[in-house]
Structure 1
Amino acid sequence: MSDFRGIWVALATPFRCGQVDFEALQGLVNKLLADGVRGLVVCGTTGEAAAMSEDEQLAVLDAVLQWAPSSQVIMGLSGNNLQDILAFQEQIQRRELAGLLVPAPYYIRPSQQGLEAFFKRVADASSVPLVLYDIPYRTGARIERDTLRRIVRHPNIAAVKDCGGDIETTLALIADGQVEVLTGEDIQILGHLALGGAGAISASANVHANLYVQLMQQMEHGELAAARASFRQLLPWIQIAFAEPNPAVVKAALSVQGFMANELREPMQVCGAMTLERLRPVLQGLVV
């Protein structure tokens, strides 16, 4: 089994004047790696991949691979046209990388049989490990527990990013031991690790990633009281980070910290003035 254990950051994509800001991207990547994260997930939801062309996504991936070891880079791969997905997958896999993050096809809401067939096709075509992204509130497709447990038996599927909202499914996946289970719900990180989860793919960890790494290390060392304290320190930030559609608040925080311009691709909007006013004292409360 591939080792995806740890804190992975769902990397925000900096923009300036409508274009990818590669200088800001390099600064953010260098900071996150210095903070000790397990790796980076490029062009996922937080990276606004849905608003980027395939050429832009590949350019961002190539840039990140210049600054980060390939073993620390996962690339997002999503869509609802299977042939287009497979063609883009082929382009991505010309590069060395740790894996691909793949959600169910969105909008079309396939049957359980259709979901199994979809993931089998993508996994069969994969030369790198897959991280299955279970997030029904974005895709509109709920993968039932038994279906999911069958899908992850594929030898090319190594992990699940768990945003399914069903604790019994989470527990079943952990108990089965077929794949590593990473939470994608940041507010559940402490509980997920306590249940035996392997880590997280976190959007809010773009900010003060060192504290998330500290939390992970404390749990691995059995330092539960210290881990609780770390989580309580992070909690106000995690709560406000998702007060508006992701990554609006994450980008606002990174802008306040000087890492990038506060710019998103439409139809996404920058966070409102009231959220920004609440955000500043929360960031000040995060002790590095």
Structure 2
Amino acid sequence: MSIFSGIWIPLVTPFQAGAVDHRALAALVARYRGAGVAGFAALGTTGEPASLTDDEQDAVLATIVRAAEGLPVIAGVAGNQVAAVRERVLRLGEQPIDGVMITAPYYIRPQQSGIVDYFSTLADASAKPIVIYDIPYRTGVRIELDTLLTLAAHPRIQAIKDCAGSPETTLALILDGRLQVLTGNDDAMFASMCMGGAGAIAATAHLRTERFVEMHRALARGALEEGRAIHHELVPLLRALVSEPNPAPVKAALAIEGRIANELRAPMMRASDELTRELAALLAA
């Protein structure tokens, strides 16, 4: 069975007085490990990797791997210069991780043939399985279905973090069956899993983690009514957590719970006071 299923946490990077708070990060990993998550995504969008130096990224990844105690960890990679990204993928191949999550090249908006060449080059170089991270909202280019089906033929490309917002593409990939489909649009996870998706890499699952895990397990065993009831229970919190740019709402909620400081690095800003009050009320309920 593929490791790319279940509820994965795309971990935030906690800061304290401007520095990475490794103690808080390790505590988060331990807490989610105990809640039954399937694995961790390090240095994805939620982890603010663009605000971290290379040394900080390496240190964050090392902390997560140590604290995961054997649970799968994948590392995010983004860029648009093939040689530099390939070098990063090669270096990650030497790390004790379980996969590399790679976005389409951002900003330059290449044609689909360029995307095929980009991912194929990186997959050829990688010693680890590849998770395609399709997030056109941030990269500026969508990975079209035909492109994804072409890339699915590569033996090291094994899964997709699906953030394209196309139910048709999601279903087509599920029916094709070669890529494990993990939704990354948290408000679509219930529908994706009902269609047969493998799970989710869900920032919102930083909160009420056990219930997200229970929802996935219910749907995986065909208990639709149970899964639907849990989803309906989670909807108010889920909507609040995606209402402002990620990861500000998640960090605000974790700060309310006393797990991290409510710090982000500029130009990211903290969640609004109004949303913070709403989150506090939801978490107290």
User: So what's the TM-score if we normalise by structure 2?
Assistant: 0.97
Q: Which residue of 2 aligns with 1:200?
A: 200
Cα displacement string for residues 239-286 of structure 1 (whole angstroms, at most 9, x for unaligned residues): 01011100000000000001100000110000111111111111123x
The letter for the 1-side match of 2:97 is: L
Any idea what SS the aligned residue of 1:271 has? coil
Q: Distance in 1 between matches of 2:264 and 2:167?
A: 33
Q: 1:62-211 to 2 correspondence within 5 Å?
A: 62-211=62-211
The letter for the 1-side match of 2:136 is: P
Q: 1:13-92 to 2 correspondence within 5 Å?
A: 13-92=13-92
Q: Which residue of 1 aligns with 2:267?
A: 267
The letter for the 2-side match of 1:134 is: D
State the Cα distance separating 1:2 from its structure 2 match: 3.5
Cα displacement string for residues 40-99 of structure 1 (whole angstroms, at most 9, x for unaligned residues): 100100000111111111101111111114551011011111111111122222112111
State the Cα distance separating 1:221 from its structure 2 match: 2.2
User: Structure 1: 5+ residue runs without aligned partners?
Assistant: none
Contact 1:73 1:99 in 2 (8 A): yes
Contact 2:3 2:72 in 1 (8 A): no
Deviates more, 1:141-150 or 1:120-129: 141-150
Cα displacement string for residues 86-115 of structure 1 (whole angstroms, at most 9, x for unaligned residues): 111222221121111101011010111100
Contact 2:90 2:127 in 1 (8 A): no
Any idea what SS the aligned residue of 1:46 has? helix
The letter for the 2-side match of 1:158 is: Q
Q: Distance in 1 between matches of 2:281 and 2:232?
A: 15
CA gap of 1:125–1:2, structure 2 versus 1, over 3 A, is farther
Matched residues, percent identical?
44
CA gap of 1:71–1:93, structure 2 versus 1, over 3 A, is farther
Cα displacement string for residues 188-234 of structure 1 (whole angstroms, at most 9, x for unaligned residues): 11111110000000011111211100101111222211111100111
Contact 1:160 1:182 in 2 (8 A): yes
Q: Distance in 1 between matches of 2:236 and 2:182?
A: 22
Contact 1:70 1:96 in 2 (8 A): no
Q: Pairwise CA RMSD of aligned residues?
A: 1.1
Q: Which residue of 2 aligns with 1:277?
A: 277
State the Cα distance separating 1:131 from its structure 2 match: 0.5
The letter for the 1-side match of 2:59 is: A
Q: Distance in 2 between matches of 1:257 and 1:181?
A: 31
The letter for the 2-side match of 1:193 is: M
Q: Distance in 2 between matches of 1:25 and 1:264?
A: 14
Q: Does 1:233 align with 2:223?
A: no
Q: Distance in 1 between matches of 2:186 and 2:196?
A: 16
Contact 1:70 1:97 in 2 (8 A): no
Count of aligned pairs between the two proteins: 285
Q: Which residue of 2 aligns with 1:7?
A: 7
Q: Which residue of 1 aligns with 2:258?
A: 258
State the Cα distance separating 1:151 from its structure 2 match: 1.3
Q: Distance in 1 between matches of 2:192 and 2:185?
A: 9
User: Structure 2: 5+ residue runs without aligned partners?
Assistant: none
Q: Distance in 1 between matches of 2:235 and 2:258?
A: 22
Q: Distance in 1 between matches of 2:61 and 2:284?
A: 32
Contact 2:161 2:183 in 1 (8 A): yes
Cα displacement string for residues 163-183 of structure 1 (whole angstroms, at most 9, x for unaligned residues): 111111111111111110011
User: So what's the TM-score if we normalise by structure 1?
Assistant: 0.97
